[in-house]
């Protein structure tokens, strides 16, 4: 569903993403993990079409993003870490406009908008201005927009940030349902419990390079210990816990 | 289903509608004020151009020549304004607008995004020019008794005339963003544009148009006209627009220049669109890079601040405020334009030839001292609303840092006050003292106005900072803050204060000058009344200063309730 080959992004002499390749299959939830500044958001923004890769190839639903950007984007939903929503539009107006960008119109758009708002528990807020929404509500509204046009693949950057436990549970359920319907999801997260609970496969990126890729069990095995949590493996792969240094400073 | 590009403008239309439906506090007052000011300005422009054209009619062929040249100059001025405005607006609409993150991930072709953004850029960059042009051209048309054809020609001239420079500006932006990051490009453009505007104003002033009014400088008129004509070239769209309209005023049609306008406008749109399809995405991608503070660390500022007798809290607040201000080019570069205007202002006093009115010169000089004080007061109000009033709002989303720190809001607000007061006092004092020196006003008035400026600065900065704390807009940028309800309220109170101060100081000063002119000593009652007026003015300033600051501090303290 999403395939990236040898993706590189350079900012002057600094290489933010270095020869990254990965594949997200239909119905798969693929976790994209890494410490801050590792290159996760840059990679996701290139897949979404917001950043131009220095080199490499991105395919979405078989369409090359560089040569057929509209076809590729038509199959993709993107949920950014810092979503933009027109503050002076109502939730309903925003989703109707967003649907229009993907070619959805009357008849059917009104019903689809209400369906999505209900699914993300925002039904009663349809006529309210976005500026009155909390962060979590805005996050859910952006997710409504991302799934509105029935994409074949979804790219999500930090989906759980700012969500309450109920909201987080809701999002997990929606992602599971979507993947069951064949939607491929590439999700970056810092919450290792979420990755462990939801992802079929995980890629770990460090300093712009993929350093590990596999199922949760395979990644866990790389830890060479009997700890069944991802945290210790993640810390080991990405350069230790730094606990000794903390101890010295404190 | 692919929708036409105007669909991409829909959110802005809906947002405007929703904003109009759900008015915020002060929207009506602000709207009313802007409409009233707009009507007055448009009426003045109409009347001015009507009067001038009517007078030029008296000079037959010379009048026509001057009108033709005037139209070319008018369009030339607007051309440069539109080109600069086009560059700045294009940078914002094509590269820095937040909603691009939404549009660019959608399956929307670059061509459609270009059309929607370009239309928005043209409208945003040119609406002000159009609003100024319409009453001016209506005044000219009315004075020349022009028919409907002239107004129709004006309409079909203004449209391509607005498109050409904005297209050029958009192309320049595209080039600039592809060569350096957009956020740095914005700084460079802002600086270049303001330097350009400042130099334009200075050059126009140094042509010394007042010599037209002097009979003795008649031999220089030919040279003067030659100077005026030098920037008017037949290759510029401003010349084509001027010629098209002039022909229409004469009852004819200039299809050549009208055609040149339209074909150039269309060709420039096609060319910029092609360039955009080729380079837009790479430019946008570059615009995501953040600027580095490599050249703007301002270490000297730390050293100077450390030398000042301030507590650590106040020192750090001062350093933070100054560094943020100096690193934001869009903020401090406006001071360059202000500096240019101040220089012109002083230059006007330098060349003011009051000796041409021998009987009145002494009297006029002293009147000018008060006009000067009023002007300094208005400069103070303008600078305060732009820089001191948004001081609290400028904390933006970072205000939580202040709220959660172990410092009092009293300390915080007073730090803002002193930071704004020092430059304000210096600017207006220099302005007043130098202008009075050039004029050679009475020494008594020199002292009165210099002291008045000190009191006025304290009151005005206190009022601005205090009201800014009472009506903060943490989510808005500083220009929006200045135009908010609180900003408008400040301007009204500031103007009222300046008027009251001039009356309170002007009356006793005139009594003193009249007595001095007659050679009579001041009576006890006159001296008492004068002292009362001066003390009243001082007390008013101090009361406004302290009351505003106190009210600002308590408003900040109530914020958490």
| Residue B500 CB neighbour total at 10 angstroms | 14
* B460 pLDDT more than 90: yes
Greatest mean pLDDT range, A107-111, A168-172, B548-552: B548-552
Long-range pairs, B329-332, Cβ under 8 A, ≥24:
B329/B186, B329/B187, B329/B190, B329/B191, B330/B186, B330/B187, B330/B190, B331/B387, B331/B478
First to last CA, chain A: 48
User: Could you state, in order of their start, the residue ranges of all structural domains in chain A?
Assistant: 1-75+151-215, 83-150
Which structure tokens are listed for B430? 């220099």
Exposed, middle or buried by CB within 10 Å (0-12, 13-18, 19+), for B539? Answer: exposed
Q: Of A15, A74, A100, nearest to B5 (Cα)?
A: A100
Q: Is A15 on the interface with B (CB under 8 A)?
A: no
Residue in A69, A80, A100 closest to B101 by CB = A80
Q: How far is CA B351 from CA A58, B345, B435, in A?
A: 68, 10, 11
CATH superfamily of the A1-75+151-215 domain: P-loop containing nucleotide triphosphate hydrolases (3.40.50.300)
Quick check: helix, strand or coil at residue A10? strand
Residues of B in contact with A48 (CB under 8 A): 105
The per-residue pLDDT for range A204-221, each reduced to its tens digit, is: 998 899 988 888 888 877
Q: Is A70 close to B289, i.e. CB distance below 8 A?
A: no
Find the angle CA(B523)-CA(B527)-CA(B530) to the nearest 5 degrees.
140
Find the angle CA(B96)-CA(B98)-CA(B99) to the nearest 5 degrees.
120
In the structure, what pLDDT confidence band is assigned to residue A185 with cuts at 50, 70 and 90?
A: very high
Instruction: State residue A162's pLDDT score.
Output: 74
Element spanning B40, H or E: helix B27-57
Q: Which of A31-40, B6-15, B95-104, B282-291 has the lowest mean pLDDT?
A: B282-291
More confident residue, B215 or A158: A158
Contact A72, A60 (CB under 8 A): yes
Chain B's closest residue to A101, CA to CA, is B106
Residue in A71, A73, A89 closest to B11 by CB = A89
Instruction: State residue B193's pLDDT score.
Output: 67
Q: Is B282 close to A52, i.e. CB distance below 8 A?
A: yes
Q: Rounded to a whole number, what is the distance in Å from the CA of B284 to chain A's nearest CA?
A: 8
A-B interface: how many C-beta pairs under 8 angstroms? 78
**Which residue in B18, B110, B278, B397 has the most chain A C-beta atoms within 10 A of its own C-beta, making it the best mutation to test that interface?**
B18
Q: Is A73 close to B101, i.e. CB distance below 8 A?
A: no
Q: Is A27 on the interface with B (CB under 8 A)?
A: no
Q: What is the mean pLDDT of chain A?
A: 86
Q: Is A108 on the interface with B (CB under 8 A)?
A: no
Find the angle CA(B256)-CA(B257)-CA(B262) to the nearest 5 degrees.
100
| Residue B209 CB neighbour total at 10 angstroms | 11
Instruction: State residue A221's pLDDT score.
Output: 79
Average pLDDT over residues B17-29: 73
Q: Which of A55-69, A228-242, B436-450 has the lowest mean pLDDT?
A: A228-242
Rg, Å, chain B Cα set: 27
Distance CA B70, CA B239 (A): 11
Q: Of A47, A113, A102, A105, nearest to A79 (Cα)?
A: A47
Q: Phi first, then psi: what are they for A16, rounded to 5°?
A: -80, -35
Chain B's closest residue to A16, CA to CA, is B289
Instruction: State residue B68's pLDDT score.
Output: 83
Which structure tokens are listed for B90? 């294009």
Residues in chain B: 561
Rg, Å, chain A Cα set: 19
- In three-state form (DSSP H/G/I as H, E/B as E, the rest C), the secondary structure along B124-154 is HHHHHHHHHHHHHHHHHHHHCCCCHHHHHHH
Instruction: State residue B358's pLDDT score.
Output: 57
Distance CA B357, CA B540 (A): 37
Instruction: State residue A55's pLDDT score.
Output: 93
Element spanning B98, H or E: none
* B189 pLDDT more than 60: yes
Alpha-carbon dihedral sign for residues B309, B312, B314, B320: positive
| Residue B215 CB neighbour total at 10 angstroms | 5
Q: Is A86 close to B1, i.e. CB distance below 8 A?
A: no
Q: Which of B28-42, B220-234, B320-334, B472-486 has the lowest mean pLDDT?
A: B220-234
DSSP string, B361-379: HHHHHHHHHHHHHHHHHHH
**Which residue in A52, A98, A128 has the most chain B C-beta atoms within 10 A of its own C-beta, making it the best mutation to test that interface?**
A52
Distance CA B81, CA B131 (A): 14
Q: Of B425, B402, B404, B410, nearest to B317 (Cα)?
A: B402
Contact A49, B104 (CB under 8 A): yes
Residues of B in contact with A49 (CB under 8 A): 104-105
Exposed, middle or buried by CB within 10 Å (0-12, 13-18, 19+), for A136? Answer: middle
More confident residue, B539 or A193: B539
* B43 pLDDT more than 60: yes
| Residue B21 CB neighbour total at 10 angstroms | 9
Q: Of B472, B443, B479, nearest to B552 (Cα)?
A: B472
The per-residue pLDDT for range B311-355, each reduced to its tens digit, is: 777 787 888 888 878 777 666 766 766 777 677 777 766 666 666
The interface pTM score, or ipTM, of the predicted complex is 0.73
Q: Is A98 close to B102, i.e. CB distance below 8 A?
A: yes
Q: Rounded to a whole number, what is the distance in Å from the CA of A89 to chain B's nearest CA?
A: 6
Q: Answer yes or no: pTM beyond 0.80.
A: no
Instruction: State residue A9's pLDDT score.
Output: 92
Instruction: State residue A22's pLDDT score.
Output: 92
Distance CA A173, CA A187 (A): 14
Q: Rounded to a whole number, what is the distance in Å from the CA of B103 to chain A's nearest CA?
A: 8
Helix B110-143 × helix B237-249 angle, to 10°:
40
Element spanning B525, H or E: helix B524-558
Average pLDDT over residues A99-121: 87
The per-residue pLDDT for range B367-415, each reduced to its tens digit, is: 777 777 888 888 888 889 888 998 898 887 778 777 777 778 888 899 8
Quick check: helix, strand or coil at residue A14? strand
Residues of A in contact with B10 (CB under 8 A): 97, 100
- In three-state form (DSSP H/G/I as H, E/B as E, the rest C), the secondary structure along B433-485 is HHHHHHHCCCHHHHHHHHHHHHHHHHHHHHHHHHHHHHCCCCCCCHHHHHCCH
Contact B99, B11 (CB under 8 A): yes
DSSP label at B91?
I
Q: How far is CA B4 from CA A235, B115, B274, in A?
A: 51, 10, 18
Q: Phi first, then psi: what are they for A188, rounded to 5°?
A: -90, 140
Q: Is B288 close to A51, i.e. CB distance below 8 A?
A: yes
Instruction: State residue A11's pLDDT score.
Output: 83
More confident residue, A16 or B18: A16
Q: Is A48 close to B105, i.e. CB distance below 8 A?
A: yes
Q: Which residues contact B410 (CB under 8 A, 6 or more apart)?
A: B553
Distance CA B453, CA B259 (A): 56
The per-residue pLDDT for range B254-275, each reduced to its tens digit, is: 889 999 999 999 999 999 999 9
Instruction: State residue B221's pLDDT score.
Output: 58
Residue in A11, A49, A88 closest to B18 by CB = A88
Alpha-carbon dihedral sign for residues B518, B523, B526, B528: positive
What is the percent of chain A with per-residue pLDDT over 70, rounded to a whole number?
93
What is the percent of chain B with per-residue pLDDT over 70, rounded to a whole number?
82
Q: How far is CA B319 from CA A63, B311, B326, B386, B414, in A?
A: 52, 12, 10, 20, 14
Residue in A84, A88, A101 closest to B106 by CB = A101
Residue in B99, B106, B109 closest to A86 by CB = B99
Q: Rounded to a whole number, what is the distance in Å from the CA of B11 to chain A's nearest CA?
A: 7
Q: What is the mean pLDDT of chain B?
A: 81
Q: Is B109 on the interface with A (CB under 8 A)?
A: yes
* B202 pLDDT more than 80: no
| Residue A239 CB neighbour total at 10 angstroms | 10
Long-range pairs, B405-409, Cβ under 8 A, ≥24:
B407/B313, B409/B553, B409/B556, B409/B557
Element spanning B26, H or E: none
Residue A157: beta bridge partners? A188
DSSP label at B288?
T
Alpha-carbon dihedral sign for residues A62, A68, A73, A75: negative
Q: Is B10 on the interface with A (CB under 8 A)?
A: yes
Q: Of B238, B261, B258, nearest to B248 (Cα)?
A: B258
Q: Which residue stretches of B393-408 are H helix?
A: 399-404
Instruction: State residue B259's pLDDT score.
Output: 93
Contact B211, B220 (CB under 8 A): yes
Q: Of B490, B375, B387, B390, nearest to B428 (Cα)?
A: B375
Residues of A in contact with B282 (CB under 8 A): 52
Instruction: State residue B509's pLDDT score.
Output: 84
Chain B's closest residue to A74, CA to CA, is B107
In the structure, what pLDDT confidence band is assigned to residue B163 with cuts at 50, 70 and 90?
A: very high
* B478 pLDDT more than 60: yes
The per-residue pLDDT for range A56-93, each reduced to its tens digit, is: 999 999 999 989 988 899 999 999 888 788 888 889 98
Distance CA A97, CA A119 (A): 19
Instruction: State residue B445's pLDDT score.
Output: 84
Which structure tokens are listed for A64? 């090359």
Which structure tokens are listed for B226? 């030659």
* A29 pLDDT more than 90: yes
Q: Which of A20-24, B58-62, B71-75, B121-125 has the lowest mean pLDDT?
A: B58-62
Q: Of B199, B130, B179, nearest to B282 (Cα)?
A: B179
């Amino acid at each position: 569903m999403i395939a990236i080959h040898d993706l590189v992004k350079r900012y002057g002499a600094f290489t933010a993403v270095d020869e990254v390749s990965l594949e997200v299959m239909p119905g798969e939830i693929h976790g994209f993990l890494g410490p801050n500044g590792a290159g996760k958001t840059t990679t996701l923004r290139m897949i979404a079409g917001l950043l131009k890769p220095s080199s490499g190839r991105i395919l979405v639903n078989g369409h090359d993003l560089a040569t057929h950007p509209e076809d590729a984007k038509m199959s993709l939903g993107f949920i950014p870490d810092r979503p933009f929503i027109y503050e002076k539009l109502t939730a309903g107006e925003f989703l109707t406009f967003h649907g229009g960008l993907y070619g959805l119109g009357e008849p059917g758009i009104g019903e689809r908008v209400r369906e999505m708002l209900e699914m993300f528990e925002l039904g009663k807020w349809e006529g309210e201005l976005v500026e009155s929404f909390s962060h979590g509500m805005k996050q859910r509204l952006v997710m409504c927009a991302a799934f509105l046009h029935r994409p074949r693949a979804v790219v999500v950057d930090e989906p759980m940030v700012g969500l309450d436990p109920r909201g987080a549970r809701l999002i997990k359920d929606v992602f599971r349902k979507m993947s069951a319907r064949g939607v491929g999801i590439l999700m970056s997260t810092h919450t290792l419990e979420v990755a462990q609970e939801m992802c079929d496969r995980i890629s770990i990126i460090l300093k712009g390079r993929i350093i590990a890729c596999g199922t949760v069990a395979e990644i866990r095995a790389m830890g060479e210990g009997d700890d069944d949590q991802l945290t210790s493996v993640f810390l080991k792969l990405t350069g230790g816990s730094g606990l000794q240094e903390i101890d010295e400073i404190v | 289903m692919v929708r036409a590009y105007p669909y991409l403008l829909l959110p802005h239309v809906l947002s405007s509608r929703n904003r109009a439906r759900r008015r915020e506090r002060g929207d009506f007052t602000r709207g009313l004020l802007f409409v009233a000011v707009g009507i007055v300005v448009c009426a003045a422009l109409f009347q001015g151009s009507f009067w001038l054209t009517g007078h030029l009619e008296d000079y037959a062929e010379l009048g026509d020549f001057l009108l033709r040249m005037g139209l070319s100059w008018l369009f030339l001025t607007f051309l440069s304004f539109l080109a600069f405005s086009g560059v700045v607006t294009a940078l914002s609409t094509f590269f820095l607008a937040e909603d691009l993150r939404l549009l660019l991930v959608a399956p929307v072709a670059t061509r459609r995004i270009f059309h929607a953004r370009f239309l928005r850029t043209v409208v945003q960059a040119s609406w002000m020019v159009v609003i100024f042009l319409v009453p001016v051209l209506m005044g000219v048309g009315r004075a020349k008794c022009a028919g409907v054809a002239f107004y129709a020609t004006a309409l079909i001239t203004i449209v391509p005339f607005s498109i050409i420079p904005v297209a050029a500006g958009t192309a320049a932006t595209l080039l600039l963003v592809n060569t350096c990051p957009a956020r740095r490009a914005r700084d460079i453009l802002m600086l270049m544009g303001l330097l350009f505007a400042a130099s334009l104003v200075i050059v126009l002033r140094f042509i010394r148009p007042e010599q037209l009014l002097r009979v003795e400088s008649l031999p220089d008129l030919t040279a003067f006209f030659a100077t005026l004509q030098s920037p008017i070239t037949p290759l510029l769209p401003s010349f084509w627009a001027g010629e098209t309209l002039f022909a229409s005023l004469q009852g004819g049609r200039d299809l050549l220049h009208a055609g040149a306008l339209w074909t150039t406008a269309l060709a420039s749109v096609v060319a910029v669109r092609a360039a955009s399809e080729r380079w837009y995405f790479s430019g946008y991608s570059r615009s995501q890079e953040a600027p580095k503070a490599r050249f703007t660390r301002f270490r000297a500022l730390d050293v100077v601040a450390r030398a000042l007798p301030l507590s650590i809290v106040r020192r750090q607040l001062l350093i933070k405020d100054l560094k943020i201000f100096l690193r934001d080019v869009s903020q401090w570069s406006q001071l360059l334009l202000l500096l240019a205007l101040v220089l012109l202002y002083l230059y006007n006093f330098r060349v003011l030839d009051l000796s041409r009115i021998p009987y009145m010169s002494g009297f006029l000089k002293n009147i000018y001292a008060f006009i000067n004080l009023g002007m300094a007061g208005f400069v103070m109000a303008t600078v305060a609303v732009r820089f001191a009033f948004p001081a609290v709002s400028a904390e933006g989303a970072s205000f939580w840092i202040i709220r959660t720190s172990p410092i009092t809001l009293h300390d915080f607000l007073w730090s803002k006050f002193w930071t704004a007061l020092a430059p304000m006092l210096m600017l207006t004092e220099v302005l007043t003292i130098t202008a009075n020196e050039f004029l050679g006003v009475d020494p008594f008035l020199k002292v009165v106005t210099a002291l008045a400026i000190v009191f006025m600065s304290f009151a005005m900065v206190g009022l601005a900072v205090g009201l800014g704390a009472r009506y903060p807009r943490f989510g808005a940028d500083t220009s929006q803050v200045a135009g908010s309800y609180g900003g408008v309220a400040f301007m009204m109170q500031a103007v009222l204060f300046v008027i009251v101060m001039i009356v309170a100081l002007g009356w006793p000063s005139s009594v003193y000058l009249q007595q001095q002119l007659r050679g009579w000593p001041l009576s006890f009652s006159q001296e008492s009344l004068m002292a009362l007026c001066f003390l009243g003015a001082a007390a008013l300033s101090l009361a406004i200063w302290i009351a505003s600051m106190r009210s600002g501090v308590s408003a900040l303290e109530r914020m958490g309730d």
